[in-house]
Chain A
Amino acid sequence: MNTRFPSAPVRPLPAVAGIGLRAEHYDVVLREQPALGWVEVHSENYFGSGGRPLAVLEAIRARHPLSLHGVGLSLGSTDPLDRGHLRQLKALCDRFEPALVSEHLSWGSVGGVHANDLLPLPCTTEALNHVCARVATVQDALGRTLLVENISRYVDFRIPSLPEGEFLATLARRTGCGLLLDVNNLYVNARNHGVDPHAFLAALPPAAIAEIHLAGHTEKTLRGTSLLIDTHDRPVCPAVWTLYAEAIARFGPRPTLIEWDSALPPLDVLLAEAARADAVLEGRRHAA
Protein backbone atom coordinates (compact mmCIF):
# COMPACT_ATOMS: atom_id res chain seq x y z
CA MET A 1 0.00 0.00 0.00
CA ASN A 2 1.29 3.46 -0.87
CA THR A 3 1.66 5.71 2.10
CA ARG A 4 2.81 9.27 2.57
CA PHE A 5 4.29 8.20 5.90
CA PRO A 6 6.86 5.45 5.26
CA SER A 7 8.45 5.69 8.70
CA ALA A 8 5.11 5.21 10.49
CA PRO A 9 2.97 3.36 7.94
CA VAL A 10 -0.66 2.47 8.49
CA ARG A 11 -1.02 -0.76 10.41
CA PRO A 12 -3.10 -1.94 13.32
CA LEU A 13 -2.09 0.17 16.30
CA PRO A 14 0.31 -1.68 18.60
CA ALA A 15 -1.29 -2.65 21.93
CA VAL A 16 0.70 -0.03 23.81
CA ALA A 17 -0.13 3.28 25.45
CA GLY A 18 -0.56 6.49 23.46
CA ILE A 19 -1.37 10.05 24.45
CA GLY A 20 -3.96 12.57 23.40
CA LEU A 21 -2.08 15.47 21.80
CA ARG A 22 -3.39 18.99 22.45
CA ALA A 23 -2.12 22.35 21.18
CA GLU A 24 -0.48 23.15 24.55
CA HIS A 25 1.99 20.32 23.94
CA TYR A 26 2.78 20.96 20.26
CA ASP A 27 6.04 22.78 20.95
CA VAL A 28 7.47 20.34 23.49
CA VAL A 29 6.61 17.30 21.35
CA LEU A 30 8.16 18.83 18.23
CA ARG A 31 11.24 20.00 20.11
CA GLU A 32 11.98 16.99 22.31
CA GLN A 33 10.56 14.23 20.11
CA PRO A 34 9.68 11.96 23.06
CA ALA A 35 9.07 8.28 22.42
CA LEU A 36 5.30 7.99 21.95
CA GLY A 37 3.56 4.70 21.21
CA TRP A 38 0.97 6.53 19.15
CA VAL A 39 -0.95 9.79 19.19
CA GLU A 40 -4.64 10.65 19.18
CA VAL A 41 -6.10 14.03 18.24
CA HIS A 42 -9.60 15.46 18.02
CA SER A 43 -10.58 15.34 14.37
CA GLU A 44 -12.42 18.68 14.39
CA ASN A 45 -9.29 20.55 15.52
CA TYR A 46 -7.86 19.86 12.05
CA PHE A 47 -10.90 20.78 9.96
CA GLY A 48 -9.39 24.14 8.93
CA SER A 49 -7.96 24.43 5.43
CA GLY A 50 -4.51 25.42 6.68
CA GLY A 51 -2.61 26.85 9.58
CA ARG A 52 -0.36 25.58 12.32
CA PRO A 53 -2.53 22.68 13.55
CA LEU A 54 -2.32 20.91 10.18
CA ALA A 55 1.39 21.65 9.82
CA VAL A 56 2.04 20.21 13.29
CA LEU A 57 -0.07 17.14 12.55
CA GLU A 58 1.99 16.51 9.39
CA ALA A 59 5.17 16.53 11.46
CA ILE A 60 3.69 14.31 14.18
CA ARG A 61 2.16 11.86 11.73
CA ALA A 62 5.49 11.45 9.92
CA ARG A 63 6.83 9.82 13.11
CA HIS A 64 3.87 8.22 14.86
CA PRO A 65 0.78 6.14 14.16
CA LEU A 66 -2.33 8.30 14.52
CA SER A 67 -5.86 7.89 15.81
CA LEU A 68 -8.54 10.43 14.84
CA HIS A 69 -11.13 10.93 17.57
CA GLY A 70 -14.24 12.87 16.61
CA VAL A 71 -16.37 14.87 19.02
CA GLY A 72 -18.77 16.56 16.62
CA LEU A 73 -20.32 14.11 14.13
CA SER A 74 -23.37 13.64 16.36
CA LEU A 75 -23.91 9.96 15.48
CA GLY A 76 -27.05 9.59 17.57
CA SER A 77 -28.78 12.81 16.51
CA THR A 78 -32.15 12.61 14.77
CA ASP A 79 -31.03 15.50 12.55
CA PRO A 80 -29.87 14.43 9.09
CA LEU A 81 -26.25 13.34 9.15
CA ASP A 82 -24.02 16.38 8.53
CA ARG A 83 -22.54 15.49 5.15
CA GLY A 84 -20.19 18.46 5.16
CA HIS A 85 -18.74 17.34 8.49
CA LEU A 86 -18.41 13.80 7.14
CA ARG A 87 -16.64 15.06 3.99
CA GLN A 88 -14.13 16.96 6.11
CA LEU A 89 -13.50 13.87 8.21
CA LYS A 90 -12.99 11.79 5.06
CA ALA A 91 -10.54 14.36 3.68
CA LEU A 92 -8.60 14.24 6.96
CA CYS A 93 -8.49 10.41 6.79
CA ASP A 94 -7.24 10.53 3.20
CA ARG A 95 -4.52 13.01 4.10
CA PHE A 96 -3.27 11.55 7.40
CA GLU A 97 -3.94 7.80 7.00
CA PRO A 98 -4.96 7.22 10.63
CA ALA A 99 -4.77 3.73 12.07
CA LEU A 100 -8.08 4.29 13.90
CA VAL A 101 -11.07 6.60 13.53
CA SER A 102 -13.54 6.91 16.39
CA GLU A 103 -16.72 8.76 17.41
CA HIS A 104 -19.03 8.65 20.44
CA LEU A 105 -22.28 6.88 21.25
CA SER A 106 -23.98 10.23 21.75
CA TRP A 107 -25.80 13.01 19.95
CA GLY A 108 -25.24 16.76 19.82
CA SER A 109 -27.73 18.64 17.66
CA VAL A 110 -31.42 19.23 16.98
CA GLY A 111 -32.76 21.35 14.14
CA GLY A 112 -29.21 22.31 13.21
CA VAL A 113 -28.47 23.81 16.63
CA HIS A 114 -25.50 22.17 18.31
CA ALA A 115 -24.77 21.64 22.00
CA ASN A 116 -21.10 20.91 21.18
CA ASP A 117 -21.25 18.32 23.91
CA LEU A 118 -21.63 14.55 24.07
CA LEU A 119 -25.30 14.17 25.02
CA PRO A 120 -26.69 10.84 26.22
CA LEU A 121 -28.98 8.57 24.23
CA PRO A 122 -31.55 6.39 25.92
CA CYS A 123 -30.60 2.77 25.14
CA THR A 124 -33.94 2.04 23.48
CA THR A 125 -34.58 -0.16 20.45
CA GLU A 126 -35.48 2.98 18.50
CA ALA A 127 -32.12 4.55 19.35
CA LEU A 128 -30.29 1.32 18.55
CA ASN A 129 -31.85 1.05 15.09
CA HIS A 130 -31.12 4.72 14.46
CA VAL A 131 -27.48 4.53 15.51
CA CYS A 132 -26.92 1.28 13.56
CA ALA A 133 -28.12 2.97 10.38
CA ARG A 134 -25.96 6.05 11.01
CA VAL A 135 -22.83 4.06 11.80
CA ALA A 136 -23.34 2.02 8.62
CA THR A 137 -23.66 5.24 6.60
CA VAL A 138 -20.52 6.72 8.13
CA GLN A 139 -18.52 3.53 7.57
CA ASP A 140 -19.65 3.46 3.92
CA ALA A 141 -18.70 7.10 3.44
CA LEU A 142 -15.29 6.68 5.07
CA GLY A 143 -14.67 3.29 3.52
CA ARG A 144 -13.39 1.94 6.82
CA THR A 145 -14.38 0.63 10.23
CA LEU A 146 -15.46 3.21 12.78
CA LEU A 147 -14.93 2.78 16.51
CA VAL A 148 -17.77 3.91 18.79
CA GLU A 149 -17.06 5.02 22.36
CA ASN A 150 -19.25 4.75 25.49
CA ILE A 151 -19.76 8.17 27.14
CA SER A 152 -20.12 9.51 30.68
CA ARG A 153 -23.57 10.74 31.57
CA TYR A 154 -25.24 12.70 34.35
CA VAL A 155 -28.83 11.58 33.78
CA ASP A 156 -30.55 8.23 33.78
CA PHE A 157 -33.68 8.05 31.62
CA ARG A 158 -36.80 6.47 33.08
CA ILE A 159 -37.47 4.80 29.73
CA PRO A 160 -37.43 1.02 29.16
CA SER A 161 -33.88 0.44 27.87
CA LEU A 162 -31.31 -2.21 27.10
CA PRO A 163 -28.25 -2.36 29.33
CA GLU A 164 -25.64 -0.15 27.66
CA GLY A 165 -23.14 -3.00 27.24
CA GLU A 166 -25.74 -5.01 25.37
CA PHE A 167 -26.61 -1.95 23.25
CA LEU A 168 -22.96 -1.55 22.24
CA ALA A 169 -22.51 -5.27 21.60
CA THR A 170 -25.54 -5.32 19.29
CA LEU A 171 -24.32 -2.17 17.51
CA ALA A 172 -20.94 -3.83 16.87
CA ARG A 173 -22.52 -7.08 15.73
CA ARG A 174 -24.99 -5.44 13.35
CA THR A 175 -22.67 -2.85 11.79
CA GLY A 176 -19.26 -4.45 12.14
CA CYS A 177 -18.07 -1.30 13.91
CA GLY A 178 -15.34 -1.50 16.54
CA LEU A 179 -15.70 -0.34 20.12
CA LEU A 180 -13.64 2.19 22.01
CA LEU A 181 -14.00 1.29 25.66
CA ASP A 182 -13.59 4.33 27.90
CA VAL A 183 -12.92 2.82 31.31
CA ASN A 184 -13.25 6.17 33.08
CA ASN A 185 -16.66 6.76 31.50
CA LEU A 186 -17.75 3.31 32.62
CA TYR A 187 -16.57 4.07 36.16
CA VAL A 188 -18.30 7.48 36.17
CA ASN A 189 -21.58 5.85 35.11
CA ALA A 190 -21.17 3.09 37.67
CA ARG A 191 -20.82 5.68 40.41
CA ASN A 192 -23.43 8.10 39.07
CA HIS A 193 -26.12 5.61 38.08
CA GLY A 194 -25.31 2.28 39.70
CA VAL A 195 -24.29 0.65 36.40
CA ASP A 196 -22.57 -2.71 37.17
CA PRO A 197 -19.16 -2.27 35.50
CA HIS A 198 -18.37 -5.99 35.57
CA ALA A 199 -21.63 -6.89 33.83
CA PHE A 200 -20.98 -4.09 31.33
CA LEU A 201 -17.55 -5.51 30.48
CA ALA A 202 -18.93 -9.06 30.31
CA ALA A 203 -21.52 -7.96 27.73
CA LEU A 204 -18.93 -6.58 25.30
CA PRO A 205 -17.61 -8.72 22.43
CA PRO A 206 -13.83 -8.89 23.03
CA ALA A 207 -12.96 -8.97 19.32
CA ALA A 208 -14.73 -5.64 18.73
CA ILE A 209 -12.69 -3.73 21.32
CA ALA A 210 -9.99 -1.95 19.37
CA GLU A 211 -8.99 0.81 21.78
CA ILE A 212 -9.26 1.84 25.42
CA HIS A 213 -9.44 5.34 26.91
CA LEU A 214 -8.25 6.33 30.38
CA ALA A 215 -8.84 9.77 31.89
CA GLY A 216 -9.43 11.62 35.13
CA HIS A 217 -12.76 12.87 36.48
CA THR A 218 -13.89 15.30 39.16
CA GLU A 219 -16.19 14.49 42.07
CA LYS A 220 -18.78 17.12 42.97
CA THR A 221 -21.17 16.95 45.86
CA LEU A 222 -24.60 18.51 45.52
CA ARG A 223 -26.84 18.45 48.61
CA GLY A 224 -25.01 15.40 49.93
CA THR A 225 -25.22 13.47 46.65
CA SER A 226 -21.97 12.78 44.87
CA LEU A 227 -21.81 13.30 41.12
CA LEU A 228 -18.73 12.45 39.05
CA ILE A 229 -18.02 14.78 36.14
CA ASP A 230 -15.88 13.59 33.24
CA THR A 231 -13.45 16.51 33.26
CA HIS A 232 -10.24 15.02 31.75
CA ASP A 233 -8.26 17.45 33.88
CA ARG A 234 -6.35 15.19 36.28
CA PRO A 235 -4.65 11.81 36.64
CA VAL A 236 -6.53 8.53 36.27
CA CYS A 237 -7.92 7.59 39.69
CA PRO A 238 -6.97 4.34 41.50
CA ALA A 239 -10.40 2.75 41.04
CA VAL A 240 -10.20 3.33 37.27
CA TRP A 241 -6.74 1.73 37.16
CA THR A 242 -8.25 -1.29 38.91
CA LEU A 243 -11.13 -1.47 36.44
CA TYR A 244 -8.65 -1.05 33.57
CA ALA A 245 -6.64 -4.04 34.83
CA GLU A 246 -9.87 -6.04 34.92
CA ALA A 247 -10.69 -5.04 31.33
CA ILE A 248 -7.19 -5.91 30.10
CA ALA A 249 -7.32 -9.25 31.93
CA ARG A 250 -10.62 -9.97 30.22
CA PHE A 251 -9.92 -8.66 26.70
CA GLY A 252 -6.14 -8.90 26.39
CA PRO A 253 -3.77 -6.01 25.64
CA ARG A 254 -5.34 -3.17 23.65
CA PRO A 255 -4.03 0.22 22.47
CA THR A 256 -4.69 2.48 25.46
CA LEU A 257 -4.95 6.25 25.42
CA ILE A 258 -4.20 8.70 28.20
CA GLU A 259 -6.73 11.48 27.61
CA TRP A 260 -6.15 14.87 29.23
CA ASP A 261 -8.04 17.86 27.81
CA SER A 262 -8.04 20.71 30.28
CA ALA A 263 -5.66 22.02 32.95
CA LEU A 264 -2.96 20.24 30.97
CA PRO A 265 0.10 19.26 33.03
CA PRO A 266 3.67 19.11 31.66
CA LEU A 267 4.04 16.41 29.01
CA ASP A 268 6.08 14.27 31.42
CA VAL A 269 2.99 13.74 33.58
CA LEU A 270 1.11 12.31 30.58
CA LEU A 271 4.10 10.14 29.69
CA ALA A 272 4.23 8.79 33.26
CA GLU A 273 0.52 7.87 33.04
CA ALA A 274 1.19 6.20 29.69
CA ALA A 275 4.10 4.24 31.22
CA ARG A 276 1.76 3.02 33.94
CA ALA A 277 -0.73 1.75 31.32
CA ASP A 278 2.16 0.13 29.44
CA ALA A 279 3.12 -1.73 32.62
CA VAL A 280 -0.42 -3.15 32.87
CA LEU A 281 -0.32 -4.17 29.19
CA GLU A 282 3.12 -5.72 29.57
CA GLY A 283 1.99 -7.65 32.66
CA ARG A 284 -0.93 -9.06 30.68
CA ARG A 285 1.38 -10.17 27.87
CA HIS A 286 3.53 -12.09 30.34
CA ALA A 287 0.47 -13.63 31.95
CA ALA A 288 -0.79 -14.85 28.57
Chain B
Amino acid sequence: MLRELQRDFLAAVRGSAPPRLQGLIAGRGLEPAERLMVYANNHRLTLTAALAGAYPVLARTLGEGGFHALAARYLLAHPSRSGDLHGYGAALADVIAAAPPPQAPWLAELARLEWAVHTAYFAALPPALALDALRGVAAQDHPRLRFVAHPALGLVASAWPVLAYWEAATDGADDPLPPPAPAAEWLLVLRAGADITIGRLDAGTYTLLAALAAGATVAEACADALAAAPDLDPGTALGGLFARGALVGFHL
Protein backbone atom coordinates (compact mmCIF):
# COMPACT_ATOMS: atom_id res chain seq x y z
CA MET B 1 0.00 0.00 0.00
CA LEU B 2 2.70 2.50 1.03
CA ARG B 3 4.94 1.34 -1.83
CA GLU B 4 2.17 1.81 -4.38
CA LEU B 5 1.28 5.22 -2.97
CA GLN B 6 4.91 6.35 -3.18
CA ARG B 7 5.26 5.07 -6.74
CA ASP B 8 2.18 7.01 -7.83
CA PHE B 9 3.23 10.10 -5.91
CA LEU B 10 6.66 10.17 -7.51
CA ALA B 11 5.01 9.90 -10.94
CA ALA B 12 2.98 12.98 -9.99
CA VAL B 13 6.12 14.78 -8.84
CA ARG B 14 7.69 14.01 -12.21
CA GLY B 15 4.71 15.48 -14.04
CA SER B 16 1.95 12.88 -14.53
CA ALA B 17 -0.39 12.27 -11.60
CA PRO B 18 -2.07 8.82 -11.81
CA PRO B 19 -5.90 9.05 -11.43
CA ARG B 20 -5.98 6.55 -8.56
CA LEU B 21 -3.62 8.82 -6.55
CA GLN B 22 -5.88 11.79 -7.20
CA GLY B 23 -8.72 9.76 -5.71
CA LEU B 24 -6.76 9.41 -2.46
CA ILE B 25 -6.26 13.15 -1.98
CA ALA B 26 -8.72 15.48 -0.31
CA GLY B 27 -9.42 18.54 -2.43
CA ARG B 28 -10.33 21.12 0.25
CA GLY B 29 -11.24 23.73 -2.34
CA LEU B 30 -8.67 22.67 -4.93
CA GLU B 31 -8.37 19.83 -7.40
CA PRO B 32 -6.06 17.04 -6.14
CA ALA B 33 -4.05 17.61 -9.33
CA GLU B 34 -3.53 21.25 -8.37
CA ARG B 35 -2.18 20.21 -4.98
CA LEU B 36 0.15 17.67 -6.58
CA MET B 37 1.31 20.37 -8.97
CA VAL B 38 2.90 22.17 -6.00
CA TYR B 39 5.22 19.18 -5.61
CA ALA B 40 5.88 18.91 -9.35
CA ASN B 41 6.84 22.60 -9.48
CA ASN B 42 9.01 22.34 -6.40
CA HIS B 43 10.83 19.34 -7.85
CA ARG B 44 11.43 21.03 -11.19
CA LEU B 45 12.66 24.25 -9.58
CA THR B 46 14.95 22.44 -7.10
CA LEU B 47 16.64 20.35 -9.77
CA THR B 48 16.82 23.26 -12.20
CA ALA B 49 18.50 25.34 -9.47
CA ALA B 50 20.98 22.51 -8.83
CA LEU B 51 21.84 22.46 -12.55
CA ALA B 52 22.17 26.24 -12.65
CA GLY B 53 24.51 26.03 -9.65
CA ALA B 54 26.76 23.58 -11.48
CA TYR B 55 26.49 25.39 -14.84
CA PRO B 56 26.37 29.12 -14.02
CA VAL B 57 27.91 30.33 -17.30
CA LEU B 58 25.67 28.09 -19.40
CA ALA B 59 22.62 29.30 -17.44
CA ARG B 60 23.59 32.92 -18.05
CA THR B 61 24.29 32.27 -21.72
CA LEU B 62 20.96 30.57 -22.37
CA GLY B 63 18.91 32.97 -20.25
CA GLU B 64 16.19 31.83 -17.88
CA GLY B 65 13.77 30.57 -20.53
CA GLY B 66 16.39 28.67 -22.50
CA PHE B 67 17.99 27.15 -19.44
CA HIS B 68 14.66 26.04 -17.96
CA ALA B 69 13.76 24.39 -21.26
CA LEU B 70 17.10 22.55 -21.30
CA ALA B 71 16.66 21.54 -17.65
CA ALA B 72 13.18 20.17 -18.41
CA ARG B 73 14.68 17.94 -21.14
CA TYR B 74 17.43 16.86 -18.79
CA LEU B 75 15.05 15.99 -15.92
CA LEU B 76 13.07 13.77 -18.24
CA ALA B 77 16.08 11.91 -19.61
CA HIS B 78 18.16 11.81 -16.43
CA PRO B 79 16.12 11.64 -13.22
CA SER B 80 17.94 12.34 -9.98
CA ARG B 81 19.46 9.20 -8.47
CA SER B 82 20.63 10.56 -5.13
CA GLY B 83 19.42 12.48 -2.11
CA ASP B 84 22.52 14.63 -2.55
CA LEU B 85 22.23 16.91 -5.58
CA HIS B 86 25.90 17.84 -5.89
CA GLY B 87 26.46 15.05 -8.41
CA TYR B 88 23.34 15.88 -10.43
CA GLY B 89 23.88 17.05 -13.98
CA ALA B 90 26.91 15.03 -15.10
CA ALA B 91 25.36 14.23 -18.49
CA LEU B 92 24.13 17.71 -19.39
CA ALA B 93 26.76 18.14 -22.12
CA ASP B 94 25.57 14.90 -23.75
CA VAL B 95 21.97 16.08 -23.69
CA ILE B 96 23.03 19.36 -25.34
CA ALA B 97 25.17 17.53 -27.89
CA ALA B 98 22.24 15.29 -28.85
CA ALA B 99 20.38 18.37 -30.15
CA PRO B 100 22.95 21.17 -30.41
CA PRO B 101 21.52 24.68 -30.69
CA PRO B 102 22.38 25.81 -34.26
CA GLN B 103 23.29 29.35 -33.16
CA ALA B 104 25.73 28.08 -30.51
CA PRO B 105 27.12 24.64 -31.40
CA TRP B 106 29.86 25.12 -28.80
CA LEU B 107 27.54 24.99 -25.76
CA ALA B 108 28.09 21.28 -25.15
CA GLU B 109 31.83 21.95 -24.87
CA LEU B 110 31.18 24.82 -22.47
CA ALA B 111 29.07 22.43 -20.39
CA ARG B 112 31.92 19.88 -20.28
CA LEU B 113 34.26 22.54 -18.95
CA GLU B 114 31.76 23.72 -16.34
CA TRP B 115 31.16 20.19 -15.09
CA ALA B 116 34.91 19.68 -14.66
CA VAL B 117 35.07 22.93 -12.68
CA HIS B 118 32.05 21.91 -10.56
CA THR B 119 33.51 18.53 -9.62
CA ALA B 120 36.96 20.02 -8.95
CA TYR B 121 35.36 22.41 -6.49
CA PHE B 122 34.26 19.53 -4.19
CA ALA B 123 37.30 17.27 -4.61
CA ALA B 124 39.72 16.41 -1.81
CA LEU B 125 43.16 18.04 -1.80
CA PRO B 126 45.87 15.40 -1.28
CA PRO B 127 49.54 16.14 -0.47
CA ALA B 128 51.69 16.97 -3.50
CA LEU B 129 53.63 14.34 -5.43
CA ALA B 130 56.69 13.10 -3.47
CA LEU B 131 59.29 14.12 -6.07
CA ASP B 132 62.22 12.96 -3.91
CA ALA B 133 60.80 9.46 -3.70
CA LEU B 134 60.14 9.54 -7.43
CA ARG B 135 63.78 10.47 -8.12
CA GLY B 136 64.74 7.32 -6.21
CA VAL B 137 63.03 5.07 -8.78
CA ALA B 138 65.66 3.36 -10.94
CA ALA B 139 65.73 4.47 -14.60
CA GLN B 140 65.04 0.96 -15.90
CA ASP B 141 61.77 0.97 -13.90
CA HIS B 142 60.47 4.26 -15.33
CA PRO B 143 58.50 2.67 -18.19
CA ARG B 144 56.56 0.55 -15.67
CA LEU B 145 55.59 3.48 -13.44
CA ARG B 146 51.92 4.34 -12.97
CA PHE B 147 50.70 7.64 -11.56
CA VAL B 148 47.75 8.72 -9.47
CA ALA B 149 45.92 11.77 -10.82
CA HIS B 150 44.89 14.64 -8.56
CA PRO B 151 41.29 13.99 -7.38
CA ALA B 152 40.25 17.41 -8.69
CA LEU B 153 41.75 16.78 -12.15
CA GLY B 154 39.37 17.44 -15.02
CA LEU B 155 40.31 16.88 -18.66
CA VAL B 156 38.33 18.55 -21.40
CA ALA B 157 39.17 18.03 -25.07
CA SER B 158 37.00 20.64 -26.72
CA ALA B 159 36.26 21.08 -30.42
CA TRP B 160 35.66 24.79 -29.75
CA PRO B 161 37.91 27.27 -27.91
CA VAL B 162 35.54 27.78 -24.97
CA LEU B 163 38.02 28.75 -22.24
CA ALA B 164 38.27 32.43 -23.19
CA TYR B 165 34.46 32.68 -23.15
CA TRP B 166 34.25 30.92 -19.77
CA GLU B 167 36.93 33.19 -18.31
CA ALA B 168 35.29 36.36 -19.57
CA ALA B 169 31.86 35.27 -18.29
CA THR B 170 33.30 34.22 -14.92
CA ASP B 171 35.09 37.56 -14.59
CA GLY B 172 31.75 39.28 -14.97
CA ALA B 173 31.96 40.52 -18.56
CA ASP B 174 28.54 41.75 -19.71
CA ASP B 175 28.60 40.26 -23.14
CA PRO B 176 31.51 37.83 -23.59
CA LEU B 177 32.43 37.14 -27.20
CA PRO B 178 31.41 33.63 -28.21
CA PRO B 179 34.08 31.37 -29.74
CA PRO B 180 34.37 32.54 -33.37
CA ALA B 181 35.11 29.21 -35.07
CA PRO B 182 35.79 25.58 -34.23
CA ALA B 183 39.36 24.97 -33.05
CA ALA B 184 40.60 22.20 -30.80
CA GLU B 185 41.44 23.16 -27.25
CA TRP B 186 42.85 20.74 -24.65
CA LEU B 187 42.09 21.87 -21.12
CA LEU B 188 43.22 20.77 -17.70
CA VAL B 189 41.18 21.75 -14.63
CA LEU B 190 42.72 21.62 -11.16
CA ARG B 191 42.20 23.18 -7.78
CA ALA B 192 44.73 24.77 -5.45
CA GLY B 193 43.17 25.63 -2.10
CA ALA B 194 39.80 27.17 -2.88
CA ASP B 195 40.87 28.36 -6.34
CA ILE B 196 40.12 26.56 -9.56
CA THR B 197 42.90 26.75 -12.12
CA ILE B 198 42.43 25.95 -15.79
CA GLY B 199 45.34 25.48 -18.16
CA ARG B 200 45.68 24.84 -21.88
CA LEU B 201 47.72 21.82 -22.94
CA ASP B 202 49.03 20.70 -26.33
CA ALA B 203 47.47 17.59 -27.87
CA GLY B 204 50.42 15.35 -26.96
CA THR B 205 50.63 16.37 -23.30
CA TYR B 206 46.84 16.07 -23.01
CA THR B 207 46.95 12.53 -24.41
CA LEU B 208 49.83 11.62 -22.09
CA LEU B 209 47.95 12.89 -19.03
CA ALA B 210 44.64 11.33 -20.07
CA ALA B 211 46.34 7.93 -20.42
CA LEU B 212 48.17 8.25 -17.09
CA ALA B 213 44.99 9.39 -15.33
CA ALA B 214 43.24 6.32 -16.73
CA GLY B 215 45.90 4.08 -15.13
CA ALA B 216 48.29 3.43 -18.04
CA THR B 217 52.01 2.86 -17.41
CA VAL B 218 54.46 5.55 -18.48
CA ALA B 219 55.47 3.40 -21.49
CA GLU B 220 51.85 2.96 -22.59
CA ALA B 221 50.99 6.62 -22.05
CA CYS B 222 54.05 7.78 -24.00
CA ALA B 223 53.12 5.51 -26.90
CA ASP B 224 49.60 6.99 -26.95
CA ALA B 225 50.96 10.53 -26.74
CA LEU B 226 53.54 10.05 -29.50
CA ALA B 227 50.87 8.56 -31.75
CA ALA B 228 48.81 11.73 -31.25
CA ALA B 229 51.78 14.13 -31.46
CA PRO B 230 54.98 12.64 -32.94
CA ASP B 231 56.99 15.78 -32.03
CA LEU B 232 56.25 15.51 -28.31
CA ASP B 233 59.15 15.29 -25.87
CA PRO B 234 57.51 13.03 -23.24
CA GLY B 235 60.10 13.79 -20.54
CA THR B 236 59.50 17.55 -20.78
CA ALA B 237 55.75 17.01 -20.95
CA LEU B 238 55.81 14.83 -17.82
CA GLY B 239 57.93 17.42 -15.97
CA GLY B 240 55.34 20.05 -16.89
CA LEU B 241 52.54 17.90 -15.49
CA PHE B 242 54.46 17.43 -12.22
CA ALA B 243 54.95 21.20 -12.00
CA ARG B 244 51.21 21.79 -12.48
CA GLY B 245 50.39 19.31 -9.70
CA ALA B 246 48.26 17.14 -11.98
CA LEU B 247 49.76 13.92 -10.57
CA VAL B 248 49.94 13.29 -6.85
CA GLY B 249 51.19 9.72 -6.41
CA PHE B 250 52.97 6.88 -8.18
CA HIS B 251 53.50 3.16 -7.86
CA LEU B 252 55.41 0.44 -9.61
Q: A49-B122, A114-B81, A223-B30 are in contact. Are A154 and B35 (CB under 8 A)?
A: yes
Number of interface residues of B (CB under 8 A): 46
Is residue A112 contacting chain B, with contact meaning CB distance below 8 A? yes
Is residue B42 contacting chain A, with contact meaning CB distance below 8 A? yes
Is residue B67 contacting chain A, with contact meaning CB distance below 8 A? no
Cross-interface CB contact of B29 among A53, A115, A157, A224, cutoff 8 Å: A224
Interface residues of B (CB under 8 A from A): 1-3, 5-7, 9-10, 13-14, 23-26, 28-30, 32, 34-36, 38-39, 42-43, 46-47, 50, 79-86, 88, 121-125, 151-152, 191, 194
Instruction: Evaluate contact between B6 and A155: CB separation under 8 angstroms.
Output: no
Instruction: Evaluate contact between B25 and A109: CB separation under 8 angstroms.
Output: no
Q: A78-B3, A124-B2 are in contact. Are A119 and B39 (CB under 8 A)?
A: yes
A85, A109, A114, A225, most chain B CB atoms within 10 A: A114
Is residue A57 contacting chain B, with contact meaning CB distance below 8 A? no
> CB-CB < 8 A to B151: which residues of A?
49-50
Instruction: Evaluate contact between B86 and A50: CB separation under 8 angstroms.
Output: no
Total residue contacts A-B, CB cutoff 8 A: 139
Q: A49-B122, A50-B122 are in contact. Are A114 and B82 (CB under 8 A)?
A: yes
Q: How far is the CA of A48 from the CA of B121 in the complex (A)?
A: 9
Instruction: Evaluate contact between A117 and B125: CB separation under 8 angstroms.
Output: no
Instruction: Evaluate contact between A127 and B2: CB separation under 8 angstroms.
Output: yes
Instruction: Evaluate contact between A47 and B86: CB separation under 8 angstroms.
Output: yes
Cross-interface CB contact of B46 among A82, A117, A126, A222, cutoff 8 Å: A117
Is residue A137 contacting chain B, with contact meaning CB distance below 8 A? no
> CB-CB < 8 A to A71: which residues of B?
83
> CB-CB < 8 A to B30: which residues of A?
222-223, 225, 227
Instruction: Evaluate contact between B121 and A155: CB separation under 8 angstroms.
Output: no
Instruction: Evaluate contact between B32 and A155: CB separation under 8 angstroms.
Output: yes
Instruction: Evaluate contact between A82 and B83: CB separation under 8 angstroms.
Output: yes
A and B contact pairs by CB, cutoff 8 A, 11 listed? A44-B86, A53-B122, A72-B84, A85-B84, A107-B6, A110-B10, A113-B79, A117-B39, A126-B2, A157-B24, A227-B35
Number of interface residues of A (CB under 8 A): 52
Q: Produce 1/0 per residue, A58-82, CB < 8 A to B.
A: 0000000000000111100110001
Cross-interface CB contact of A72 among B26, B35, B82, B122, cutoff 8 Å: B82
Q: How far is the CA of A163 from the CA of B189 in the complex (A)?
A: 54
Q: How far is the CA of A261 from the CA of B151 in the complex (A)?
A: 30
> CB-CB < 8 A to A109: which residues of B?
10, 83
Is residue A193 contacting chain B, with contact meaning CB distance below 8 A? yes
Q: Tell me the residues in window 252-287 of chain A with beta carbons closer than 8 Å to chain B beta carbons.
A: none
Q: A47-B86, A224-B29 are in contact. Are A117 and B42 (CB under 8 A)?
A: yes
Is residue A11 contacting chain B, with contact meaning CB distance below 8 A? no
> CB-CB < 8 A to B122: which residues of A?
48-51, 53
> CB-CB < 8 A to A55: which residues of B?
194
Is residue A52 contacting chain B, with contact meaning CB distance below 8 A? yes
Is residue A156 contacting chain B, with contact meaning CB distance below 8 A? yes
Is residue A229 contacting chain B, with contact meaning CB distance below 8 A? yes
Q: How far is the CA of A71 from the CA of B1 in the complex (A)?
A: 24
Name the distance in Å between B248's Cβ and chain A's nearest Cβ: 13
Instruction: Evaluate contact between B83 and A50: CB separation under 8 angstroms.
Output: no
Q: Tell me the residues in window 3-59 of chain A with beta carbons closer than 8 Å to chain B beta carbons.
A: 44-45, 47-53, 55
